[in-house]
Chain A
Amino acid sequence: MRVVSEEILRIENLHVSVAGTPILKGVNLVIHRGEIHALMGRNGAGKSTLANALMGHPAYEITEGKVFYKGEPLEDLDVFERARNGMFLSFQYPASIPGVQVGTFLKKAVASVRDEPPKGRAFRKELTTAMEKLSMEKAVLSRYVNDGFSGGEKKRLEILQMLLLQPQLALLDETDSGLDIDALRIVSQGINEIAVDAGCLVITHYQRLLDLVKPHFVHAMIDGAIVHSGGAELAHELEARGYDWLDVAA
């Protein structure tokens, strides 16, 4: 039996519009520390919208409802403050920053998020350890952030950032897409490592990720709302049956 621990995220009746079009239509969700929640749903259902809105993307306007992060209203925090307070979003489509080297970027990001950033050598050691876990080549450090990266390379860099920033709430938006079989296993280990001490929202279309990152809860999103929740078995059911049977329920 699981002991319910600290509440990390509470979403109450969240409505979000993009460019005036309502996308999320009343999402409710509570995530505690140590819990892995999987979010599934058809293309265009609003999963990324939820992740982006939680992280504070200015294009996603909250029109109704409330979100609390560790008990405090999230709306009071600017994007960078959310990051500094332990929120992390692994992007479905990470942006590239030409001319900025991965090594420099990681060092600066860690320095901005952590209260006591590690000094030169300590940081390099930490970085080396994390990169070894993800089987990443050192050469990545001198490339430009996501610039010309393959889909899988981008996702691996997202997870590297997550390992270094050690978030308390990890939002992982289709981190498994584009990963080969070995990479999927490696990345999953990274997620599991963080998940021990954080709340995790894992957005995915595929059971193969959930075989490796075992969710405590699975939620199905249809047309901007979570219409059905269950345990790990729900993912299997969705994989087998698709989403049509939920339309009736919704």
Chain B
Amino acid sequence: MSDEAQELIGDYQYGFHDPENSTIRFDKGLSEQVVRDISELKNEPEWMTELRVKAYNHFMERAMPEWGNCPMLESIDFESITYFLRSSDQTEKSWDDVPADIKNTFDRLGIPEAEQKWLGGVTAQYESEAVYHSIREDLEEQGVIFLDMDSGLKQYPEIVKKYFGSVIPHSDNKFAALNTAVWSGGSFLYIPKGVSVEMPVQAYFRINAKNMGQFERTLIIADEGSTIHYVEGCTAPSYSTDSLHSAVVELIALEGASIRYSTVQNWSSNVYNLVTKRAHAYKNAVVEWVDGNIGSKLTMKYPSVMLLGEGAHAEVISVAYAGKGQHQDTGAKVHHLASNTTSNILSKSISKNGGRSSYRGLLQVTPRSKGCRSKVVCDALILDGTSRSDTYPTMEIGNPSSDLEHEASVSKVSGDQLFYLMSRGFTEDEAMGLIVNGFFEPFTRELPMEYAVELNKLLELEMEGSIG
């Protein structure tokens, strides 16, 4: 590892990288041919190839967003990115069969232990494709489909064709177009009618190679009355050059279904993390996004829910931590498109060492949607004088029968809190760590325990040596 890379890693505990042993690596840069080559390599049906090409053309024509962090967005060099990299020739069902170098990486991240202890299924994606996949037999017997997206397309082409891009069309935004053009990997999950999956299923995304682009595509369909909790973790090593993570996640919660999607993204500080996440919630369905954003250089992500049927409910709980040189532009969007729909949005952010966090939210109630209720709470904690926090809430309320609440607060850690904790034997850093973990607690308590513990440790590390 170069000294420069070592220096960048700093406290980032996933900053290690293992030697890259790829079996197929595309040349850097993007063209229609690259898009067609990816599709051909994967042996895809023609409709997918054509969709990719259409999306590629849209991506080329589409302007960059004119909001968020424009200078940072403009600095992405799409030509220096590798769009496809295959590290293993197949997706293994047994951990033992995963190539040793890749296994080594995931061992270091603690994936196999987690699976044994508390997961209903797991997918591990390394660079562009899944390298390991498993699901508990009992779930399979109940008809639950949990595959990586490539296998999903091969084995269930009709379902994929029906839903792929139905929530987030390729023309939604520039990065959705890019993802549709070059997508690879991600999860495909189908829960049959009435099936309740008690243990969470997990996907783990790891970028290992330099200048890599990861474009996973996730599609979850919860059929009527079913329940699922999907958990996703992401890391990447620290390089001195940038990587791009641009995922698209589509959720469909049919009548009475319930989907919880929990993410803790802990990217190294040179990853552009530009993700589109959206859900359709039908009658009486519940969709919950639990979304944690630590690390990355720039994150732009606004999990959204379209409440399409009466009685549907959306819950978006998110936290963002912006450290040195980082901008977390995150938030939530909820569209109340049917009557008597409800939503709760809780957003918490911490900025430190010159970091910037922004809340960007949209709450829409259409004129026809009567009796909707929504509560939005945004809390920002700023740890020093050089850091920044801003909120950009938008409300489009089409009728007066709705009950809406919006609260926002910006606070600083008080000297009295620090003194109180220090008088109990905590160092200043430890005290700060406790306060910060406490601030994120309404989020952390929603996570599976393993993730909660991990997140707390991470934040404590971030607080070390922080106070000047």
Q: How far is the CA of A83 from the CA of B438 in the complex (A)?
A: 22
Within 8 A of A (CB), among B78-127: none
B395-426: which have CB < 8 Å to A? 414-417, 419-426
| A99 and B438 contact, CB distance less than 8 A | yes
Complex partner residue of B422 from A79, A94, A99, CB under 8 angstroms: A79
Out of A58, A94, A97, A161, name the residue touching B434 (CB < 8 Å). A97
Which residues of B have CB within 8 Å of A78?
A: 422, 427
Residues of A within 8 A of B16 (CB): none
A interface size (C-beta, 8 A) = 29
Tell me the complex Cα distance, A57–B428, Å: 12
Find chain B residues with CB under 8 A from A97 CB: 417, 420-421, 434-435, 438
Chain B contacts of A144 at CB under 8 A? Answer: 438, 441
Which one of A57, A84, A88, A165 has the greatest number of beta carbons of chain B within 10 Å? A57
Determine whether the beta carbon of A83 is less than 8 Å from that of B417.
Answer: no
A residues near B422, Cβ cutoff 8 Å: 56, 78-80, 83
* B411: min CB distance to chain A, Å: 10
Contact across chains for A99 and B424 when beta carbons are under 8 A apart = no
Q: Is A91 an interface residue (CB 8 A)?
A: yes
Contact check: which of A80, A89, A100 meets B438 at CB < 8 Å? Answer: A100
Residue of A nearest to B430 (CB): A112
Query: Interface code B430-444, partner A: CB below 8 Å = 1, 0 otherwise?
Result: 100011011111100
* With A59-B415, A79-B419 as contacts: A109 and B438 at CB distance below 8 Å: no
Chain B residues numbered 245-279 whose CB sits less than 8 Å from any CB in chain A: none
Chain B 169-191 residues near chain A, CB threshold 8 A: none
Q: Pick the most buried of A59, A80, A108: most chain B CB atoms within 10 A of its CB.
A: A80
Query: Quick one: given A97-B438, A99-B442, A100-B437, are A165 and B423 in contact (CB under 8 Å)?
Result: no
Do B434 and A112 touch (CB < 8 A)?
no
> Are A58 and B415 touching (Cβ within 8 A)?
yes
Provide the A55-69 mask, 1 if CB < 8 A to any CB of B, else 0. 111110000000000
Any chain B CB within 8 A of the CB of A242? no
Whether B439 lies near A99 (C-beta < 8 A) is yes
- Contact between B424 and A109, CB atoms less than 8 A apart: yes
A59 to B425, CA, bound (A): 18
Asked whether any CB of chain B lies closer than 8 Å to the CB of A113, the reply is: yes
- Name the residue of chain B whose CB is nearest to the CB of A98: B438
Q: Which of B415, B422, B424, B435 has the most CB of A within 10 A?
A: B424
**CA of A113 to CA of B414, assembled, Å:** 23
The CA of A57 and the CA of B419, in the complex, are separated in Å by 6
A105 contacts the other chain (Cβ, under 8 Å)? yes
CB distance from A58 to the nearest CB of B (A): 7
Q: Main SS of the interface on chain B?
A: helix
A59: chain B residues at CB < 8 Å are: 415
Q: Which residues of A contact B435 (CB under 8 A)?
A: 97, 100
Task: Please report which residues of chain A, range 188-207, place their CB below 8 angstroms from some CB of chain B when the two chains form the complex.
Answer: none
Flag A152-176 by CB within 8 Å of B: 1 or 0 each: 0000000001000100000000000
CB within 8 Å of B: which A95-132 residues: 95-100, 105, 108-109, 112-113
Shortest Cβ distance from residue A238 to the other chain B in the assembled complex, whole angstroms? 29
* Chain A residues with CB below 8 A from B415, complex form: 58-59
Number of interface residues of B (CB under 8 A): 23
Q: What's the nearest-Cβ distance from chain B to residue A10, in Å?
A: 20
Q: How far is the CA of A220 from the CA of B417 in the complex (A)?
A: 30
Q: Mark B310-338, 1 if CB is under 8 A from A, else 0.
A: 00000000000000000000000000000
* Partner pick for A80 among B414, B427, B439, CB 8 A cutoff: B427
Q: How far is the CA of A59 from the CA of B416 in the complex (A)?
A: 10
| Residue of B425, B427, B437, B439 with most chain A CB atoms under a 10 A cut-off | B425
In the docked arrangement, what's the CA distance between A79 and B430, Å? 13
Q: In the complex, what's the smallest C-beta–C-beta distance from A142 to chain B, in angstroms?
A: 11
Quick one: CB contact mask for A26-57 with B, threshold 8 Å, 1 for yes?
A: 00000000000000000000000000000111
- Contact, CB under 8 Å: B419 / A58: yes
Q: Is the CB of B417 within 8 A of A108?
A: no
- A59-B415, A80-B425, A83-B425 given; A94·B420 CB < 8 A: yes
Most chain A C-beta atoms within 10 Å of own C-beta, residue among B423, B438, B442: B423
Roughly how many angstroms separate A130 CA and B353 CA in the complex, as a whole number? 41
How far, in whole Å, are A88 and B435 apart by their CA atoms in the complex? 20
| Residues in chain B near residue A113, CB distance under 8 A | 424-425
- B425–A109 contact, CB under 8 A? yes
- With A94-B420, A95-B420 given, is the CB distance from A100 to B434 under 8 Å? yes
Q: List 16 additional A-B contacts (Cβ < 8 Å) besides A79-B422, A97-B438.
A: A56-B423, A57-B419, A58-B419, A59-B415, A78-B427, A79-B419, A82-B423, A83-B422, A94-B420, A95-B419, A98-B438, A98-B441, A99-B437, A108-B426, A108-B434, A112-B426
User: Chain B interface (Cβ within 8 Å of chain A)?
Assistant: 414-417, 419-428, 430, 434-435, 437-442
A-B contact pairs, 25 of them (CB 8 A): A55-B423, A57-B419, A58-B419, A59-B415, A78-B422, A78-B427, A79-B419, A80-B423, A80-B430, A82-B423, A91-B420, A95-B419, A95-B420, A96-B417, A97-B438, A99-B439, A99-B442, A100-B434, A100-B435, A108-B426, A109-B425, A112-B424, A112-B425, A113-B425, A144-B441
